[in-house]
């Protein structure tokens, strides 16, 4: 099997992740080979050559107009004449490519085949995460192509099969930013939903349409007489050309019929007369004619193999070979006794030789496919003449594909056979592998083709359906309702344990999303007791959840123990994702205990685990990079920290739309430290947008809210911060809702965050000079932090206490608190935790210096303070925009607002600002929110009233 990489493992070139690779059918990347003899279409080739000056070439016409052949001919001529030769990436799309993970896998593989250097980093990324289509990733790809010395042509054939909006968006994004040396060619039966009018208007589009592609009278004559060797009169040629309207498939079929008739001119003329006189659907008429003139064995072969997407000799043998009952007899009957039954391979080669609508898919003549139109006609005939044979044919096709490890095709055929038993069994066997490759859409498509009652009757299927819905971020209620369907035989000991284990696992996942740590832990324990040893997929997931739960709970000892276990399991499974995530969390444990240097060592290990042998980082490396960013921020190397975070964001976006959330918090702190308030605001805003996007939990929204309050306090917006405290019920106020006190039972999701809220509140009190209230709050927080072993929080709280004591005039207490902070912070080398508190802490530190407390460390901190001061005076202060809004609009939002006011549509705005439509939408949402507007018009009117525009 060199041509088809059946097993997922066969993609394992140079140590790539074994379980993660999407199986790639290399036949889909094959540039179709040209027939020996064909009508060269110079006028069209000329237009395609000229089209290279433009971004997109669209070949849009119905089936049978020779789109693929024309492009194959063009590419051959391109590669012959262009210097340096043009590189070509070709993908023959099919229905399955609507799964963004699969589409990106094929896109990446095609580009890599065209040029080894392209898509490499991406290569690993998309195999792992299936998010090659993320914008940042596409930008990466564009940059890689832009530096190539040659032009690269990317051909997507049969683009009409793509219905996924995600993919259309990605192609639009790509088109908007196409470098000079990358050209996109789409062959399609219908115009794709891309911004074609705009591209037309700007001269970015070359179009070849039905009227261009149809054979002219000269081409028809050349085809019928030279290629097909028919030697027809000019009158006959015209008659055929008129009847078929230059439709190449029709002409070709007519020519094949004519070849089957006797070569006497009168017989031919009779056929032509009958054909041109008939009103019957051309193909119906012709395919019958063509088939009738084939030997019966070949007719049978054509009909029965028409159900196959791709044909090979062994595959055809297997679906025809073991005919059941009368099928076998008929097959034998049809053969003259003397002639041996031809094997499928020789039949395929024969079909190719006589030009019977078969297309070789490789150079070794192993794989073929029928011309799609012809396959449709054959299938229609098969369905009409032998409807009963269909299920058996599909079943055998399914079995063959299963044997070859081509599971997607095996499942498709089982579904087509309506052999639901078999389909369900195959889907269940492959669900874990499919989900691990992020091919969630593929799995959901399978489930969608099963009757709902079948899904409901299968607990395993139901369970993974719920799991997949969770993965694509569907609402909790959708997931929950699917879980309600999971019913299993509780009396059967073997199934009941497994299913109960799975349910516990998904419930643990749920609970953790809702920050209900206790329940999550409980469910995890249940799951690990119940799940079979062999279910590594779920088991490692559960251990991972457990470690997260232990962490959230503050049980560091236990947490780090389980994390080690997860890391080990992950490495054993060859699953870098789990291993890296676990190691990163070990590092964050260390950070919480103030051991920053140890954390750095661990994070660098994690980074190594997340880097493949060729030095390319996997998306999961983003977690390690965030950690390193936080560390270097704390050590006051702002530039290094910002670089780590930028790289982390880039990688995390490949992972998912919301994975980069964590990086924006430290990024905001860095920007604040650099005095770039506008950039800090942007980082915060981005984080809030991401939090809005993810619907599965409110936790991130609350975290973003905390960061926003920190930001407000840092900008001296005490009023804004107070409104937050009121809204949270932390202080009494007009918008306050009654909230239980600190030690009472609370909803888990807020209980987890409560300590952070209180630290912020204490900070707010200090800014307001309410020292006594601050101290009260800090006192109980200190106890809590110590109990939890949270050295990082203890340091922060002690610094704040020192400040509060100083405000209250109690210098002795202030020095005691600062003293503990210093001794806890020195081993880790903390800097920013002091620096961020500003000048008052510098004053305290000078006092500490005069008392001789930890002199070396204090001297270092004071040096950092004076550096910051001099940097600040050097920096040009950026004037804050004068806006009468509580939350001012960012520069980008102002731009969007002006364009809104100018009456532009979202796509037009996207175009104008060179951003994606979805980004425009999220800007609009944010603008509406800040202006408290309900519509576009409303927003514009309010903005005008406020004098913003």
Partner 1 sequence: LRSKGNDTSSGFDHPHAIYEIQVQGELDEGWQQWFGGLRVGSTHTSGQPPVTTLTGPVADQAALRGMLCKLWDLNLTLISVRRIEATGKEETEDD
Q: Which is nearer to partner 1, 381 or 422 (CB)?
A: 381
Q: How far is the CB of 214 from partner 1 (least distance, A)?
A: 11
Instruction: Find the binder of partner 1 among 48, 75, 283, 910 (CB under 8 A).
Output: 283
Instruction: Find the binder of partner 1 among 43, 202, 209, 280 (CB under 8 A).
Output: 280
Sign of CA dihedral 738, 740, 742, 748: negative
Q: How far is the CB of 320 from partner 1 (least distance, A)?
A: 23
Q: Is 276 in the site for partner 1 (CB under 8 A)?
A: no
Helix (H, G, I), strand (E, B) or coil at 182: strand
Instruction: Find the binder of partner 1 among 133, 141, 153, 282 (CB under 8 A).
Output: 282
Of the candidate spans 3-11, 370-378, 809-817, 883-891, the one that interacts with partner 1 by CB under 8 A turns out to be 370-378
Q: Which is nearer to partner 1, 340 or 387 (CB)?
A: 387
Q: Is 476 in the site for partner 1 (CB under 8 A)?
A: no
Q: How far is the CB of 334 from partner 1 (least distance, A)?
A: 22
Q: Is 383 in the site for partner 1 (CB under 8 A)?
A: yes
Q: Is 373 in the site for partner 1 (CB under 8 A)?
A: yes
Q: Count residues contacting partner 1 (CB under 8 A)?
A: 21
Dihedral (Cα; 420, 425, 428, 430), 10-degree rounding: -110
Cβ(209)–Cβ(196) below 8 Å: no
CA distance linking residue 634 with residue 591, whole number of Å: 11
Q: Is 281 in the site for partner 1 (CB under 8 A)?
A: yes
Supply 337's token pair: 């006794």
Burial class of residue 502 in the structure, from the number of CB atoms within 10 Å of its CB (0-12 exposed, 13-18 middle, 19+ buried): buried
Q: Which is nearer to partner 1, 237 or 249 (CB)?
A: 249
Q: Which is nearer to partner 1, 289 or 650 (CB)?
A: 289
Angle between helices 120-129 and 135-146 (to 10 degrees): 160
DSSP 161: G
Q: How far is the CB of 578 from partner 1 (least distance, A)?
A: 38
Cβ(70)–Cβ(51) below 8 Å: no
**First and final C-alpha spacing in the chain:** 65
With CA atoms as reference, report the closest residue to 931 among 880, 899, 887, 881. Answer: 887
Q: Which is nearer to partner 1, 166 or 425 (CB)?
A: 166
R_g (Cα) of the chain, nearest Å = 34
Q: Is 249 in the site for partner 1 (CB under 8 A)?
A: yes
Q: How far is the CB of 225 from partner 1 (least distance, A)?
A: 24
Q: Which is nearer to partner 1, 165 or 263 (CB)?
A: 165
- Cβ-Cβ contacts under 8 Å for 78 (sequence gap 6 or more): 49, 85, 86, 88, 153
Instruction: Find the binder of partner 1 among 376, 429, 555, 701 (CB under 8 A).
Output: 376
Give me the residue label for tokens 């001529």.
77
Q: Is 380 in the site for partner 1 (CB under 8 A)?
A: yes
Q: What per-residue string of b and e applies to 842-858 under the rule 16 or more CB within 10 Å gives b? A: bebbebbeeeebbeebb
CA distance linking residue 313 with residue 344, whole number of Å: 5
Encoded one letter per residue, x for contact with partner 1 by CB under 8 A and - for no contact, window 23-62 reads ---------------------------------------x
Q: Is 189 in the site for partner 1 (CB under 8 A)?
A: yes
Q: How far is the CB of 281 from partner 1 (least distance, A)?
A: 5
Instruction: Find the binder of partner 1 among 51, 64, 570, 627 (CB under 8 A).
Output: 64
CA distance linking residue 647 with residue 323, whole number of Å: 59
Q: How far is the CB of 283 from partner 1 (least distance, A)?
A: 7
Q: Which is nearer to partner 1, 65 or 400 (CB)?
A: 65
Q: Is 190 in the site for partner 1 (CB under 8 A)?
A: yes
Q: Which is nearer to partner 1, 377 or 580 (CB)?
A: 377
**Site residues (CB under 8 A) for partner 1, limited to 384-403:** 384, 387
Q: Is 211 in the site for partner 1 (CB under 8 A)?
A: no
| DSSP per-residue letters across 683-699 | HHHHHHHHHHH--S-SH
Give me the residue label for tokens 């005919």.
323
Instruction: Find the binder of partner 1 among 231, 284, 326, 867 (CB under 8 A).
Output: 284
- Cβ-Cβ contacts under 8 Å for 600 (sequence gap 6 or more): 587, 628, 631
CA distance linking residue 38 with residue 860, whole number of Å: 80
Q: How far is the CB of 301 from partner 1 (least distance, A)?
A: 21
Give me the residue label for tokens 């937050």.
724
Give 21's Cβ-side CA count (13 Å radius). Answer: 20
Q: Is 274 in the site for partner 1 (CB under 8 A)?
A: no
Q: How far is the CB of 125 from partner 1 (least distance, A)?
A: 33
Backbone dihedral angles phi then psi of residue 322, each to the nearest 5 degrees: -90, 70
Question: Which parts of this chain interact with partner 1 (CB under 8 A)?
Answer: 62-64, 189-190, 247, 249, 279-284, 372-373, 376-377, 380, 383-384, 387
């Amino acid at each position: 099997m060199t041509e088809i990489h059946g097993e997922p493992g066969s993609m394992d070139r140079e140590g790539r992740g074994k379980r993660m690779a999407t199986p790639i059918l290399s036949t889909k990347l094959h540039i179709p080979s040209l027939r020996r003899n064909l009508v060269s279409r110079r006028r069209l080739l000329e237009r395609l050559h000229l089209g290279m000056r433009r971004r997109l070439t669209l070949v849009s016409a119905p089936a049978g107009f020779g789109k693929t052949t024309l492009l194959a001919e063009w590419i051959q001529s391109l590669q012959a004449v262009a210097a340096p030769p043009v590189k070509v990436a070709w993908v023959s799309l099919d229905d399955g490519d609507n799964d963004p993970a699969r589409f990106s896998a094929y896109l990446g593989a095609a580009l890599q085949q065209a040029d080894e250097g392209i898509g490499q980093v991406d290569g690993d990324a998309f195999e792992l995460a299936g998010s090659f289509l993320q914008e940042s990733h596409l930008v990466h790809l564009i940059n890689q192509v832009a530096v190539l010395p040659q032009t690269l042509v990317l051909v997507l054939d049969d683009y009409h099969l793509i219905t996924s909006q995600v993919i259309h968006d990605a192609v639009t994004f790509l088109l908007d930013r196409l470098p000079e040396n990358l050209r996109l060619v789409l062959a399609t039966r219908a115009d794709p939903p891309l911004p074609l009018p705009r591209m037309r208007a700007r001269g970015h589009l070359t179009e070849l349409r039905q009227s261009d592609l149809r054979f002219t009278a000269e081409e028809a004559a050349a085809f019928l007489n030279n290629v097909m060797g028919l030697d027809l009169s000019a009158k006959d040629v015209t008659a055929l050309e008129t009847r078929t309207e230059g439709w190449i498939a029709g002409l070709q079929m007519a020519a094949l019929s004519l070849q089957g008739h006797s070569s006497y001119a009168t017989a031919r003329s009779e056929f032509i007369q009958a054909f041109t006189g008939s009103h019957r659907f051309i193909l119906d008429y012709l395919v019958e004619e063509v088939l009738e003139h084939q030997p019966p064995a070949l007719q049978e072969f054509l009909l029965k193999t028409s159900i196959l997407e791709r044909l090979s000799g062994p595959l055809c043998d297997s679906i025809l070979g073991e005919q059941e009952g009368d099928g076998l007899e008929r097959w034998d009957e049809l053969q003259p006794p003397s002639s041996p039954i031809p094997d499928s391979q020789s039949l395929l080669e024969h079909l190719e030789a006589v030009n019977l609508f078969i297309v070789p898919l490789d150079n070794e003549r192993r794989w073929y496919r029928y011309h799609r139109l012809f396959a449709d006609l054959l299938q229609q005939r098969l369905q009409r003449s032998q409807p009963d044979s269909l299920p058996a044919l599909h079943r055998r096709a399914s079995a063959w594909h299963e044997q070859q490890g081509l599971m997607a095709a095996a499942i498709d055929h089982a579904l087509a056979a309506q052999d639901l038993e078999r389909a369900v069994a195959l889907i269940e066997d492959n669900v874990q592998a499919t989900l691990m490759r992020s091919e969630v859409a593929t799995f959901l498509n399978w489930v969608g083709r099963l009757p709902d009652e079948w899904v409901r009757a299968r607990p395993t299927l139901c369970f993974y359906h719920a799991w997949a819905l969770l993965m694509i971020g569907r609402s909790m209620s959708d997931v929950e309702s699917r879980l309600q369907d999971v019913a299993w035989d509780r009396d059967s000991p073997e199934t009941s344990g497994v299913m109960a284990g799975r349910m516990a696992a998904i419930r643990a996942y749920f609970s953790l999303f809702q920050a209900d740590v206790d329940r999550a832990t409980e469910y995890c324990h249940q799951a690990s007791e119940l799940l079979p040893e062999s279910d590594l997929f779920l088991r490692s997931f559960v251990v991972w959840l457990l470690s997260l739960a232990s962490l959230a709970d503050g049980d560091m000892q236990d947490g780090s123990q389980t994390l080690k276990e997860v890391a080990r399991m992950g490495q054993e499974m060859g699953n870098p994702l789990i291993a890296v995530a676990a190691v990163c969390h070990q590092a964050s444990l260390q950070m919480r205990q103030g051991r920053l240097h140890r954390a750095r060592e661990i994070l660098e290990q994690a980074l190594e685990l997340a880097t493949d042998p060729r030095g390319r980082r996997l998306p999961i490396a983003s977690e390690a990079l965030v950690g390193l960013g936080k560390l270097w921020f704390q050590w006051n190397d702002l530039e290094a920290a910002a670089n780590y975070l930028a790289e982390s964001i880039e990688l995390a976006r490949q992972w998912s739309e919301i994975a980069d959330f964590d990086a924006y918090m430290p990024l905001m702190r860095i920007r604040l430290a650099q005095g770039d308030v506008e950039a800090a605001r942007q980082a915060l805003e981005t984080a809030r947008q991401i939090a809005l996007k993810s619907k599965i939990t409110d936790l991130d929204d609350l975290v973003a809210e905390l960061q926003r309050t920190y930001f407000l306090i840092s900008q001296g917006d005490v009023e804004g911060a107070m409104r937050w405290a009121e809204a949270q019920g932390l202080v009494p106020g007009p918008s306050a809702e009654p909230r239980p006190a600190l030690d009472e039972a609370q909803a888990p999701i807020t209980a987890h965050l409560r300590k952070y809220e209180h630290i912020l509140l204490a900070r707010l009190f200090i800014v307001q000079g309410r020292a006594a209230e601050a101290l009260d709050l800090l006192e109980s927080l200190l106890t809590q932090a110590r109990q939890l072993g949270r050295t990082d929080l203890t340091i922060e709280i002690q610094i704040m206490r020192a400040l509060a004591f100083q405000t209250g005039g109690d210098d002795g207490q202030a020095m005691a608190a600062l003293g503990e902070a210093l001794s806890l912070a020195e081993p880790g080398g903390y800097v920013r935790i002091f620096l961020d508190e500003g000048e008052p802490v510098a004053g305290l530190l000078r006092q500490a210096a005069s008392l001789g407390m930890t002199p070396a460390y204090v001297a270092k901190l004071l040096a950092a303070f004076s550096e910051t001061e001099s940097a600040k005076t050097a920096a040009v202060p950026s004037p804050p925009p004068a806006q009468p809004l509580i939350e001012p609009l960012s520069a980008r939002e102002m731009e969007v607002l002006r364009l809104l006011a100018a009456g532009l549509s979202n796509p037009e705005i996207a175009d104008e600002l060179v951003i994606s439509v979805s980004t425009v939408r999220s800007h609009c949402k944010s603008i509406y929110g800040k202006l408290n507007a309900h519509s576009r018009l409303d927003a514009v009117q309010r903005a005008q009233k406020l004098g913003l525009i």
